[in-house]
Amino acid sequence: MILTLFHGNTQSAIDEMVNARQLLEKFRSTGDSHYLGDGFYFYNDPIQAEVWAKMKVNRNPKYFGENWAVMKCDIKVEEDRFLDLDNREEQDFFFSEMIRLYEQLETRNLELMEYNDAYLCNHIASITEVQLISKTFPYLDREEAFPSKFSNDKVPPYSITRHFRTEKQYVVRHSNLISSYVIIKSGKSRIRKRGVAR
């Protein structure tokens, strides 16, 4: 299968990857704060990639004053190497693997001091050879008129909205999945409210 996905970053990072025609290891996201594990993060929506790129250069002092850019890539991946955690069957596998690891700890009288999704995604990728993982995440918008409630409960108070912003993220674990690199937009961002692209 072939997916067209979008990556937002600083202009300099995008230029380097487009010129090299590969995802460079120095731009790989790693660590506990990346919910889908280690790799290169993409969106299926070019506007969301633009929003992210602009936030990066506006909110992270390390990148203040830098230009931003969005890159479009075609990703070719076998269906059995793609874990889409928006699908019920693949969610079942994710949670069964979580339970299996917990049970292994119990049988060895080990205590889980801390859990994070990044670790589990990395583990699943290592035992299944998954190369692409995706999931839709909700996030709070600073400009919301009503507070969000991440629940399906159909009970008062009705002043709480069940609608909230989401973003579907994809993590590409290997550069060899990419067949094309094209810059589709770039610019210099200004401070603006979250979720609105200029």
For 71-100, the pLDDT digits (tens) are 999 999 999 999 999 999 999 999 999 999
Is residue 198 in some structural domain? no
Q: Which residues pair with 139 in a beta bridge?
A: 165
Specify the DSSP class assigned to residue 81: G
Q: Give the β-pairing of 40-43 and 68-76.
A: unpaired
Specify the CATH number for the domain of residue 17.
3.90.228
Is residue 193 in some structural domain? no
Q: What residue type is 118 in one-letter code? A: A
Region 161-167 average pLDDT: 76
How many domains are contained in the chain? 1
Residue 71 · residue 18 · CB < 8 Å:
yes
Q: What residue numbers bound the domain in which 33 lies?
A: 2-147+163-187
Specify the DSSP class assigned to residue 31: S
| pLDDT tens-place string over residues 14-41 | 999 999 999 999 999 998 888 999 999 9
Question: What pTM, to 2 d.p., does this model score?
Answer: 0.84
Is residue 192 in some structural domain? no
Burial class (CB in 10 A: 0-12, 13-18, 19+), 13: buried
